[in-house]
Structure 1
Amino acid sequence: MNRYIILVLMLFCAGSLSAQKDLNLAQAIEIGLEKNYNIQIIRQSEKIADLNNTWGNAGQYPKLEFNFRSSNKKDYNESDDFIQNSLTPSIDLSWTLFDGFAVRIRKDKFNDLAALSKGNTIVAVESQIQLIILAYYKALMEQERLGVSKTIKELSEDRYGNEKVASELGTKGSYELLLAKNAFLEDKSNYLTQQVNYNNAVRDLNFLLGVEESTKYIFTDDFMTQVMDYRLADLLDKMFANNNNLKNRYMQEAIQKRDIEMARSNYYPRVSLGAGVQGNQFIQKHDVAPKIDTKSHNLYANLSLNYLIFNGNANRRALQIAKIEEEISKIQTDDFKHSLTNTLAQNFELYQLRKELLDLAEENKLATEINMQLSKEKYESGSINSFNYRDVQISYQNASLARLSAIFNLIQSKTNLVRMTGGILSEF
């Protein structure tokens, strides 16, 4: 019977492990960019901008229409009632030959809008990659924290077991046993809480990836990052050259210039062509007189020129407003560059600080780990009491958790720097 239960448990564990998927950071990013809903929506918006970017939408080509008009009339009078029908089909072509270069200006603006849409997609992809990176390493950190909590729980469990044996043998009193039990229960509670934290971190990652929230993984990347020696001047050069948010600001300035050009085009004359063919059929039926049925058709081609002389200075105001809006756009760009520079300097300094904090955390964790090993031997030999041993355990736990937080903070700062300097797409 016991063998049967063990076999069932082994099969259950094997099934649980097989349901987990290996996942590294590159795979997570690939899945997230493919399935994330926000990215899908932004890519659809990019398609709309591409569809609008045509010469036809800019007004380059003529417009051809088929028109049909029917007129019917019944006339009652004293001498002779009659019915009158008139049918007028036509094919009409209208073509603006010149409108102050507005067609070319509109097409250039559509080009800029399409480029801006692609730029917005790139920014959204960068943002999504950054979120996935942090969510992936957050899950790794919570997994490592779970390992630390498990280690502390097992040590407390061993200590509690030793205290129970000693109490049964009468070598120690119930006070030490209660202290050991309280410590074990506290550590077990922390371990269970950390399991929930880890599961929530995985759910957050699954949400960003656009997959089922219950999906489980075996994370194959190490919870560590390569420490880089950055120079602020180099980072600034890269940011001004490659930051995609800044590129979008420049594109918005270009679009504003198109509005100025469009406002200037209103000062030019308009030349348009109208041509077509029209048919006419006139039918008149009298009660007394003979029926009248006449058919005709005509061709026409008209060239018109329109030049606006005065409209209450509306064109002048439109041009002045466009120029003011261009100045506003330039000011906004300068403000954005200033903000980026300030943020980059802060992130750079924070990265330098977090590098040093990680070194300190590594040293502290190593020291507390050695101290805990020595204290465990001393506690088992009776050289130190349970109070001292518990203090050492807590110090080791705090140092281990602080080290994990220091690693994650450094990853976060590095990711911010890489994204601000436009390298997140190439590096990840």
Structure 2
Amino acid sequence: MKKTILLLIASACCGIGTSAQELLTLQDAVRLGLENGYSIRIAKNEYSIATNNNTYGNAGFLPRIDASVGGNIRKSSDETTKLDGATVSADPRTVNASAGISLSWTLFDGMGMFIAKDKLTLLQKQGETSLRASMESATAQIISTYNAVVQQKQLVKVFDEALSISEQRVKIARTARSIGSASEVTLLKSEVDYKSDSSNLVQQQLNLSNLKADLNQLLGRAPETAFEVQEQPLSASPIVYQELVAKAMEQNPSLIEARQEVAIQLLNVKDAKSAMLPTVSLNTSYSYNKYDYTSSSNKKYQTHGPYVGVTAGVTLFNGFNTRRSIKNAQLQSSTMEVRTQQLEQELRSAILKTYNAYTTAQSVVAIEKKALELAQKNLNIALKAYEQGSISDIDMRETQKSFIDVSYRLINAQVTLKDTEVELRRISGTLILPE
């Protein structure tokens, strides 16, 4: 009864209700995170901007058309004094109305518009690659946090089991004390250990509650949203190192984005060279003007008609600035190629170190599983011996702590194994995303 009351208090303190809660699967968590996650929504907007910018009009292929209409009235008071002293006054007024439409069109700009369109297409692809990288990073973070919640839930069970054992110890010590086969010190020691294990359980419940809040934040929903995770084994699937490296060289989003940047820099070199070529532009317009006079030798004047002109030009000399721009663009392209090679090398190093951590975690999990079997067997033997009074209270407590420590190490090793597998799949570009 004491244990039941304690668990209820722990649940209340940690904000964990006893009513039925949503069962959140890992697949549902990833889906919700990719739909509602703040970083994903920002990346989607940035990709949409790059898509909107990739138009022929933005690249300079299409003409510009302007229309205008206007009118004004001019009125003045004129006074003229002649040589004979006579004065002549007049109040002329002029009314003007005008309208026009014009078109300006760059027909050729040294291939600049074609280069601009290719750059806009590459920038759109870069935005798509960046969005994919954000989605994979968010997915990996959601999986890691979800597994951490599963881990904490398992640890709660471990500490719950430890509390049950401590409760048995208190009962055994109280019975032994009543018949005179155990001292008051033994009973008090068992009760102190019971309180300690109770405190550990409450703390573990708090850790679980906080991790659930972290997961809710990644899913873009209220932190107090109640849910339960799906129990699943924290085991990893087999991975072949060479296949992982080969896929990373082809599918890693950061590496793909760097290669796209190299292509953009090559287009910048072509763009700089295009300044040496001539430009051809077309200008045409149609205008209408009308003037009405109240005091003039002409009463009315109007004009209208089209205008067409073609302009061609080439820069003969601009202080060697074109040559400088070409050289700088070539250096920028070379720098980006070096950075891409550096990124490939860093990626290979990251895969190797993560893979080593993965294989080490596999070995640790295997060792801890065997250790847990031994610790469980030892605990069962010790508990029976304690009931019979053949081992001391200190030995019993040490056995109990050993079982808790091995259980804790195994769960941590399993989570580490799963996290390293997810990281390997993320950096290799093989992390499966939902549609």
Equivalent-residue separation in structure 1 for 2:379 and 2:50 (angstroms): 63
Runs of at least 4 residues off by over 6 Å: none
What residue in structure 2 maps to residue 236 of structure 1? 245
1:251 alignment partner, one of 256, 260, 275: 260
What residue in structure 2 maps to residue 196 of structure 1? 206
TM-score by length of 2: 0.91
Distance change >3 Å, CA 301–CA 60, structure 1 → 2: same
CA contact (8 A) 1:137 1:223 kept: no
What one-letter code is carried by the residue in structure 2 that aligns with 1:139?
Answer: V
2:286 counterpart SS class: strand
What residue in structure 2 maps to residue 303 of structure 1? 310
Equivalent-residue separation in structure 2 for 1:25 and 1:225 (angstroms): 14
CA contact (8 A) 2:95 2:291 kept: yes
Equivalent-residue separation in structure 2 for 1:187 and 1:52 (angstroms): 62
Per the TM alignment, residue 249 of structure 1 is displaced from its structure 2 partner at its CA by 0.7
Equivalent-residue separation in structure 2 for 1:221 and 1:313 (angstroms): 70
CA contact (8 A) 1:25 1:136 kept: yes
Task: Report 1:4-403 matches (<5 A).
Answer: 19-79=20-80, 80-228=90-238, 230-286=239-295, 292-403=299-410
Per the TM alignment, residue 75 of structure 1 is displaced from its structure 2 partner at its CA by 3.4
Per the TM alignment, residue 71 of structure 1 is displaced from its structure 2 partner at its CA by 4.6
Residues 203-244 of structure 1 deviation map (CA, whole Å, 9 limit, x = unaligned)? 11111111221222232241322341x343222111111111
CA contact (8 A) 2:31 2:434 kept: no
2:78 counterpart SS class: coil
CA contact (8 A) 1:94 1:274 kept: yes
Per the TM alignment, residue 342 of structure 1 is displaced from its structure 2 partner at its CA by 0.9
Per the TM alignment, residue 367 of structure 1 is displaced from its structure 2 partner at its CA by 0.5
1:280 counterpart SS class: strand
Distance change >3 Å, CA 295–CA 227, structure 1 → 2: closer
Residues 49-98 of structure 1 deviation map (CA, whole Å, 9 limit, x = unaligned)? 11111111111111111023445433333233322333321100111111
Equivalent-residue separation in structure 1 for 2:98 and 2:256 (angstroms): 56
Equivalent-residue separation in structure 2 for 1:108 and 1:37 (angstroms): 31
CA contact (8 A) 2:236 2:417 kept: no
CA contact (8 A) 2:248 2:427 kept: yes
Per the TM alignment, residue 16 of structure 1 is displaced from its structure 2 partner at its CA by 5.1
Residues 315-342 of structure 1 deviation map (CA, whole Å, 9 limit, x = unaligned)? 1111111111111111111111111111
Equivalent-residue separation in structure 1 for 2:417 and 2:431 (angstroms): 16
Equivalent-residue separation in structure 2 for 1:313 and 1:283 (angstroms): 54
CA contact (8 A) 1:19 1:216 kept: no
1:303 counterpart SS class: strand
**Worse-superposed segment, 175-184 or 73-82:** 73-82
What one-letter code is carried by the residue in structure 2 that aligns with 1:420?
Answer: I
Distance change >3 Å, CA 191–CA 422, structure 1 → 2: same
Equivalent-residue separation in structure 2 for 1:426 and 1:93 (angstroms): 49
Identity over the aligned pairs, expressed in percent? 26
1:308 counterpart SS class: coil
Per the TM alignment, residue 406 of structure 1 is displaced from its structure 2 partner at its CA by 0.4
CA contact (8 A) 1:141 1:223 kept: no
Unaligned 5+ residue runs, structure 1? 1-8
Equivalent-residue separation in structure 1 for 2:152 and 2:302 (angstroms): 88
Please state if 1:410 is matched with 2:427. Answer: no
**Worse-superposed segment, 244-253 or 68-77:** 68-77
Per the TM alignment, residue 125 of structure 1 is displaced from its structure 2 partner at its CA by 0.3
Distance change >3 Å, CA 46–CA 425, structure 1 → 2: same
CA contact (8 A) 1:91 1:278 kept: yes
Equivalent-residue separation in structure 2 for 1:60 and 1:100 (angstroms): 12
Distance change >3 Å, CA 291–CA 17, structure 1 → 2: farther
- How many residues align structurally? 413
What residue in structure 2 maps to residue 5 of structure 1? none
**Worse-superposed segment, 237-246 or 189-198:** 237-246
Per the TM alignment, residue 170 of structure 1 is displaced from its structure 2 partner at its CA by 3.0
Equivalent-residue separation in structure 2 for 1:359 and 1:425 (angstroms): 27
Unaligned 5+ residue runs, structure 2? 1-7, 81-89
TM-score by length of 1: 0.92
**Worse-superposed segment, 76-85 or 119-128:** 76-85
Equivalent-residue separation in structure 1 for 2:231 and 2:61 (angstroms): 55
Per the TM alignment, residue 314 of structure 1 is displaced from its structure 2 partner at its CA by 1.6
1:218 counterpart SS class: strand
1:222 counterpart SS class: coil
What residue in structure 2 maps to residue 6 of structure 1? none
Equivalent-residue separation in structure 2 for 1:47 and 1:227 (angstroms): 36
**Worse-superposed segment, 365-374 or 73-82:** 73-82
Per the TM alignment, residue 375 of structure 1 is displaced from its structure 2 partner at its CA by 0.6
Equivalent-residue separation in structure 2 for 1:78 and 1:284 (angstroms): 18
Equivalent-residue separation in structure 2 for 1:418 and 1:195 (angstroms): 31
Equivalent-residue separation in structure 2 for 1:218 and 1:282 (angstroms): 83
CA contact (8 A) 2:236 2:421 kept: no
